[in-house]
Chain A
């Protein structure tokens, strides 16, 4: 807090500066919402797509952390995710997530652990001409491998690599702030890896495209869509691309909430899996 009246007389502002209360704006070196939310695989991003943005609001020489809980409930399945991330310097993000996939109709459950790392290579989400470009990986390991093995998967662990580019336009169409992210992922994971890695039908890595576009109605509310290509490695059941339509709420720099309508296509032979996604993140 400053405590000086530099130019005593005349202009109120000079003295007002000295008396002003602690900033109404919050701490944290980056603008509201630029930390994004937590993706299903723990990495900072949208809901189903990891973004080039780094989680939390940590800026230069700062650490930031997030914890998150997500639930996806579709017709015959339920996915629960607990995750956490640590970021430094708006440069490096480390993340961890545990996924539990409840086979509500079929019976039983699958689960896996995911360790993620992401490095910002270049650019800035908001400023400059370059988009923000990041390189990331997600190493996944199944806890229960009996079912994935039984349906033809080849491995109980695998590593996804991805490169993401994200860009925000402060004054985009309709004078709203827009954000777009494109991610290219190299993966062998079946249904995120919950059904193992590689399969009897296809056992090689594949490049997959994932994209998100969001518009901020105001500083706190955004609506958007996401699309994620999926591999199709198992002959027992077709795997289809995922999509969702989301609403995100950023009341402050410590909490974000995302609700979405999701279409996960066919999973393990059960078609038209649509339903709801809800995610809550706390950032420090």
Chain B
């Protein structure tokens, strides 16, 4: 019986160590810190800061954090509008989108998010490009 338990433990050990993306991002607290850092950098980036003029940054922070939590498998349900609706007539171009991606990467690096987790999140967000950018 002991051997069976030991084998079972060995078999499932890798699973228990494999963290979900949500966990690798630092769960709710970690995600909120990453998004805050990202928005902090956005505010200092003259390429894209103007898109946030007059915008309720606290609300943006809440919604993006919620969305990242939701996408990464966390216990959240994104409550905002879909990407197409929320970015309509904002005039976001490829350069703006890339600038935001750069700030997200920099924020994740600052928070020591492993490259593999960074890539998983970027891979989940990249498909939104088509709904956000006005070609």
Residues of A within 8 A of B (CB): 1-2, 6-7, 10-11, 13-14, 16-18, 20-27, 29-32, 59-60, 90, 124, 126-128, 169-172, 174-177, 217-219
Contacts and interface: CB of A to CB of B under 8 A. Distances in A.
Residue among A59, A170, A172 having the largest count of chain B Cβ atoms under 10 Å: A170
14 contacts: A2-B49, A6-B57, A17-B42, A17-B44, A17-B49, A18-B43, A23-B99, A29-B94, A30-B98, A32-B102, A59-B93, A170-B119, A171-B119, A218-B115
Interface of B: 36, 39-47, 49, 52-58, 61, 93-95, 97-99, 101-103, 105-106, 109, 115-117, 119-120, 122-124, 126, 129-130, 133
Contacts of A32: 102
Given A59-B94, A127-B130, A25 B106 contact: yes
B45 A23 contact: yes
A68 to B, nearest CB: 23
B39 A13 contact: yes
Interface of B is mostly: helix
A222 to B, nearest CB: 12
Residue among A17, A18, A21, A32 having the largest count of chain B Cβ atoms under 10 Å: A17
A173 to B, nearest CB: 11
Nearest to A62: B95
Contact of B103 (A18, A23, A29, A124): A23
A29 B98 contact: yes
Contacts of B106: 24-25
Nearest to A59: B95
A13 B36 contact: yes
A204 B117 CA distance: 51
Contact of A13 (B54, B58, B116): B58
Contacts of B117: 175
A176 B43 contact: no
